Amino acid sequence: MPVRNAVLATPRIIREMSMEMKELGFGQRVGQIVQMAYVVEDIRAAMELWVRDCGVGPWFLLESFTGAEQRYRGQPARADIKLAMSFAGHMNIELIQPRDNHPSVYKEMIDRRGYGCHHVGIAVTDVPAVRASYEARGFRTAFEAPVPSGGSVCYLENGSLDPAFIELIPATPGMDEMFTRFWRAAVDWNQKDPVRPFA
């Protein structure tokens, strides 16, 4: 798809957010891709690789993330994952390791084509409105779940970005504070304590 057409195909609500919203604390704007995420087999080995080969760190590790309110393809779900976050420049990098075999967007991707790129995350102020805009264009919601930083994320797909999903990330004050704190740690990193608690 030519670049001009790709820009025009971006949902109007996303373009408006990007033009109107001020910069977030970590250097990105609402309406932009703020995260690249990968499913990995061994999260500690993956963090070590990113530190050693890419110079990315420190990593903030959450040993377990689950919840009673998550929904996978319209059904209640109870998958549990490990996740870790760091920053490469102004881009949040997320690593995800499933902790069980329960159905999930993560296990689905691994079963379909193995480990690797899983989703791009876009920061938005109104997840339901943006989700409706995508669904009106033929996207389907594959997963949704509340997050500790406020609101609920959702993963969308229509095959055009296969094998990656689009994640809508609520641009709440809690999200901005957390991402900015992780970004500042990466900017100031002196190679010590490469893995830290997700707090």
Place of tokens 């995350």: 121
Query: In the chain, how many domains are there?
Result: 1
Place of tokens 């893995």: 195
Using the CB atoms, write b or e for 126-139: b if 16+ within 10 Å: bbeebbebbeeeeb
DSSP 151-172: SEEEEEE-STTTT-EEEEEE--
Is the full-model pTM beyond 0.85? Answer: yes
Read off φ and ψ for residue 111, nearest 5 degrees. -65, -35
Q: Is 196 a member of any domain?
A: no
Q: Is 4 a member of any domain?
A: no
pLDDT at 20 (0 to 100): 57
Q: Is 117 a member of any domain?
A: yes
**Which residues on adjacent β-strands are paired with residue 120?**
36, 166
CA pair distance 2, 71, nearest whole angstrom: 35
Q: CATH number, domain at 58? A: 3.10.180.10
pLDDT tens over the chain, length 199 residues: 443 444 446 667 666 665 556 789 999 999 999 999 999 999 999 999 999 999 999 999 999 999 879 999 999 999 999 999 999 999 999 999 999 999 999 999 999 889 999 999 999 999 999 999 999 999 999 999 999 999 999 999 998 767 689 999 999 999 999 999 999 999 999 999 999 999 8
Q: What is the pLDDT of residues 113-142, one digit of tens each?
A: 899 999 999 999 999 999 999 999 999 999
- At what angle are helices 12-20 and 127-136 packed, to 10 degrees? 140
Residue 14: which of 129, 120, 92, 93 has the closest Cα? 129
Using the CB atoms, write b or e for 112-125: b if 16+ within 10 Å: eeebeebbbbbbbb
pLDDT at 162 (0 to 100): 73
For residue 140, give its domain range: 12-191
Q: Is 123 a member of any domain?
A: yes
**Strands of the 75-76 sheet, one edge to the other:** 75-76, 71-72, 140-146, 152-157, 165-170, 116-124, 33-39, 91-98, 81-88, 59-65, 195-197
The structure tokens listed for 147 are 């997050």
pLDDT at 159 (0 to 100): 81
Residue 124: which of 170, 182, 183, 56 has the closest Cα? 170
- The secondary structure of the chain in percent helix, strand, coil, rounded to multiples of 5, reads 30, 35, 35
Are 34 and 92 in contact by the 8 Å Cβ rule? The answer is: yes
Q: Is 183 a member of any domain?
A: yes
